[in-house]
Amino acid sequence: MRCLLFACLLLGSAQGWALDRFQVEGYALPNGLQLLLKPGSERGHVAIRLVVGVGFDDFACADKELPHLLEHLLFSGIDASGEGGLEQRMQALGGEWNAYTSNADTTFVIEAPARNQRKVLDLLLALLTHTRLDDRAVAAAKQVVEREDGGHYSHLQRWLDRQDLGHKASSQLAVELGLKCAERAEVGHLALTQLEQVRKDWYAPNNMTLIVVGDLDRLLPAYLERTYGALEPVEPREHRELPQIQGTAAVERTLINGWVGQSAQLHWLFPEPVLDQQHDATFDLLKDYLDWALYRQLRLERELSYGPWSDREVFGSVGFLSLNADLARDDLPQVRQVVEQLKADLLEHGLDPATFARLKQVAIDRQAWAVQGNSALADYYWSVLGDFDNGRFSDPAKRLQAVSLRQANLALRQLLQQPGYLRIEKPLLGDEQLLQLGGGLLALIVLGSLGGYLLRHRRKP
Ligand SMILES: [Zn+2]
């Protein structure tokens, strides 16, 4: 009996510990490096994320690729063995690594066996401190980045981008509103000195967070203090202010994507009004609701769209919620009518209380299994870094729970009261138009040759 009681207690506490993914050992070293250490549920493995607080948003349009180019350069090698030698060292430790540059940060992502966690962290530190930048490495990294961005930026593509034709609908709207750069940033003109400056200004411990999740080494805290703790901090830099809506955009536009085809897409985008409380939780729930409403009306009831969807995107400092549908171009008037009616109904009657309650419960329940394993947990902490406070991340289930039907209805009304921005994407010509055009051309050719024949015969006598 006593054994059973003990087993129950153990089971209870172990479960409590495993469930509480929001509690994390978090502290800053004297040089400002923020550490987040979390024992994970899987043995033998650690997930490491080093988040450096510099991203595309920190640079003007022409220089936007600076942090991305630097990220690639940092893998070019720490000694004469170069890039290959560096990769070999990581392989020898049984780990894998990669890095990503986003609008807000540059992050080094590592998966490694737990037994080598300190050695892997040593290698990461060597990459940060021992990589020497030179012109040859810069030229090589430029080629890679250019290829990643879709190859050489041709004059035609640049021209299309300037006419707002080369972007997808939401990006095109963001360009119109002054929230996004019109042209793709290029790397050709970026200089070694600029890259060195970015490294000096931003790659400092007081601008970094190191996340380690998994089978943590007992000696990890002391090790980190001795090694990463020796990095020199810099004078903190201010991030650039995010762009706000500057221009006006057309309420409705048709965008050409491709030359010929029968498919089209409808996008209706609405800037999200800023809410004082539970902004993200509220709009996440509204997105779920609109997803379901579109699916029901366009797919299940009318079969006008195979996978209509609702989306949330952020450009500059503005969030957008959108209603989207893929469709056949001939169905466009019908789809448009259905979506307009949906908007009108929601404005008049608000959300259906039972549906809202059901979808809210799904969103809450999803939190129980949304983040599984060391790597997903490390990625999760990375995605909500700004939310860390006093040893805890806040619980999204509680934030969702706190959104009332009344609150959601208020937000929905504010959102849909705006006219929004309607964007139709379709190829230049439909199949029928192509046939007509082809027929027209053929007729012209026939008429032309007939005319030539008649002329020749008239001259003969
Ligand atoms: Zn890249």
What single string gives the DSSP state of each residue in 43-66? TTEEEEEEEES--GGGS-GGGTTH
Say how many Å lie between the CA of residue 304 and the centre of ligand 1.
38
Give the Å distance between the CA of 108 and the centre of ligand 1.
12
Q: How far is the CA of 205 from the centre of ligand 1 (A)?
A: 23
The position carrying tokens 């593509």 is: 157
Q: How close is the Cα of 109 to the center of ligand 1, in Å?
A: 13
Is the same domain home to 169 and 273? no
Tell me how far the alpha carbon of residue 100 lies from the centroid of ligand 1, in angstroms.
Answer: 6
The most distant pair of C-alpha atoms in the chain lies apart, rounded to whole Å, by 124
Report the chain (461 residues): mean pLDDT per 10 consecutive residues. Answer: 43 49 94 96 95 96 96 95 96 97 96 98 97 94 89 68 71 93 91 97 97 96 98 93 92 88 94 96 98 97 95 96 95 96 97 98 95 95 93 94 98 97 90 81 86 75 47
Q: Which two tokens stand for residue 299?
A: 């797919």
Residue 179: inside a domain: yes
Quick one: 24 and 164 in the same domain?
Answer: yes
Give the distance (Å) from ligand 1 centre to CA of residue 280.
29
What is the chain's alpha carbon radius of gyration, rounded to the nearest angstrom? 28
Please report whether residue 11 resides in a domain: no
> pLDDT tens for residues 149-191?
876 667 766 666 666 555 689 999 999 999 999 888 899 999 9
Residue 50 lies in a domain: yes
Which CATH number goes with the domain that contains 331? 3.30.830.10
Same domain, 272 and 193: no
What is the layout of strands, in order, in the sheet containing 34-39? Answer: 25-28, 34-39, 208-214, 45-52, 106-113, 96-101
- List the one residue out of 257, 255, 256, 260 whose CA is nearest residue 435: 260
Distance between CA 131 and CA 99 in Å, rounded?
A: 15
Range of the domain at 133: 20-230
In this structure, are 292 and 389 located in the same domain?
Answer: yes
Q: How far apart are CA 228 and CA 231, in angstroms?
A: 6
Query: What's the CA gap between 340 and 323, in Å, rounded?
Result: 10
- Are 281 and 332 members of one domain? yes
Dist. CA 306 → ligand 1 center (Å) = 33
128 contact partners, CB below 8 Å, separation of at least 6: 74, 203, 231
Looking at the structure, do residues 160 and 31 belong to the same domain, yes or no?
Answer: yes
- Distance of CA 103 from the midpoint of ligand 1 (Å): 13
Distance of alpha carbon 202 from alpha carbon 8, whole angstroms = 50
- Closest-CA residue to 40 (of 65, 23, 58, 62): 23
Total domain count, the chain = 2
The rounded Å distance from CA 96 to ligand 1 centre is: 16
Find the 198 Cα to ligand 1 centroid distance in Å. Answer: 16
Count the neighbouring beta carbons within 10 Å of the beta carbon of residue 187: 21
Buried b (16+ CB within 10 A) or exposed e, 148-170: eeeeebeeebeeebeebebbebb
pTM of the model: 0.86
**Res 342: pLDDT:** 97
Residue 269 near residue 170 (C-beta atoms within 8 A): yes
- 254 inside domain: no
Q: What is the distance in A from the centroid of ligand 1 to the CA of 248?
A: 33
- In this structure, the answer to whether residues 264 and 130 fall within a common structural domain is no
CA–centroid distance, 25 to ligand 1, in Å, is 31
Give yes or no: residues 205 and 279 share one domain: no
What is the C-alpha separation between 263 and 306, in angstroms, rounded?
12
Work out the angle between the directed axes of helices 192-202 and 135-148 (0-180°, nearest 10).
80
Tokens of 361: 């419960």
Distance 65 CA to ligand 1 centre (A): 10
From ligand 1's centre to the CA of 347, what distance in Å?
44
Position 249 in a domain: no
Query: In the chain, what is the straight-line distance between the N-terminal and C-terminal CA atoms, in Å?
Result: 123
* Continuous H helices in 2-97: 2-19, 66-73, 82-92
Q: How far is the CA of 374 from the centre of ligand 1 (A)?
A: 24
> Ligand 1 centroid to 68 CA: how many Å?
6
Within 10 angstroms of residue 284's Cβ, the number of other Cβ atoms is 19
Give tens-digit pLDDT for 257-270: 888 888 999 999 99
DSSP letter, residue 275: P
Residue 162 domain-assigned (yes or no): yes
187/360 Cα distance (integer angstroms): 45
- Which stretches within 149-263 are classed as H helix? 155-162, 169-176, 192-202, 220-226
Q: Which of 199, 212, 225 is nearest to 49 (CA)?
A: 212
Q: What is the Å distance from ligand 1's center to 386 Cα?
A: 24
Distance 335 CA to ligand 1 centre (A): 39
Give the distance (Å) from ligand 1 centre to CA of residue 412.
38
Residues contacting 421, CB < 8 A, separation 6+: 173, 249, 250, 251, 252, 253, 268, 269, 270
Centroid of ligand 1 to alpha carbon of 72 (angstroms):
6
CA of 258 to the centre of ligand 1 (A): 27
* Domain end among 184, 214, 230: 230
Q: Confirm whether 114 is domain-assigned.
A: yes
Q: How far is the CA of 92 from the centre of ligand 1 (A)?
A: 24
State whether 73 and 128 are in the same domain. Answer: yes
- CA 30 to the chain's CA centroid: 32
Residue 2 belongs to some domain of the structure: no
pLDDT for the residue 166: 59
In sequence order, what are the beta bridge partners of 256? 426
Shared domain for 90 and 196, answered yes or no, is: yes
CA of 145 to the centre of ligand 1 (A): 6
**212 with 325, same domain?**
no
Residues 293 and 219 in one domain: no
CA of 152 to the centre of ligand 1 (A): 15
| Cα 55 to ligand 1 centre (Å) | 12
Q: Which of 230, 251, 285 is the last residue of a domain?
A: 230
C-alpha 25/C-alpha 390 separation (Å) is 10
Ligand 1 centroid–CA 47 distance in Å is: 21
pLDDT at position 390 is 87
Q: Rounded CA gap, 174 and 171, in Å?
A: 5
